[in-house]
C-alpha cells in the first residue's frame, strides 16, 4: 500500500467520506474536518520529504484529533 493510500485511510479513520461531504455541503463539523485534513496532509508531506515509506500518524496528532473530535 502506498503512503498516499495510508494517509487517505488515516483521514477516513477520523472523518469518513459522508462526514466530509456533509462538512462541504452544510458546514456540519467543518472545523474538525478541516483540522483533520490539514494536520494529516501536512504530516504526509513532512514524512514524504523525510524519505519515509510508510505513513504513521504521530501520537501528538492522534491525541489532538481525538481530543477535538465533536462526536
Query: Residue 48: which domain range?
Result: 3-68
The whole-number pLDDT of residue 65 equals 98
φ and ψ of 67, to 5 deg: -65, -35
Question: What nine digits make up the cell of 38?
Answer: 490539514
Q: What is the pTM of this model?
A: 0.94
Q: How many domains in the chain?
A: 1
pLDDT at site 54: 98
Q: Are 36 and 67 in contact (CB under 8 A)?
A: no
Q: CB count, 10 Å around CB of 55?
A: 20
Phi-psi region of 52 (alpha: psi -120 to 50; beta: other; left: phi over 0): beta
How confident is the chain (71 residues) per 10-residue block, as mean pLDDT?
A: 97 97 97 98 98 98 98 92
Residue 18 has a pLDDT of 97
Reduce the DSSP state of residue 70 to 3 states and report it: coil
Amino acid at each position: 500500500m502506498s503512503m498516499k493510500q495510508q494517509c487517505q485511510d488515516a483521514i477516513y479513520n477520523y472523518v469518513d467520506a459522508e462526514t466530509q461531504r456533509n462538512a462541504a455541503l452544510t458546514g456540519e463539523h467543518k472545523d474538525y474536518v478541516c483540522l483533520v485534513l490539514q494536520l494529516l496532509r501536512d504530516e504526509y508531506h513532512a514524512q514524504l520529504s523525510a524519505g519515509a515509506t510508510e505513513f504513521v500518524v504521530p501520537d501528538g496528532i492522534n491525541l489532538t484529533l481525538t481530543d477535538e473530535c465533536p462526536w
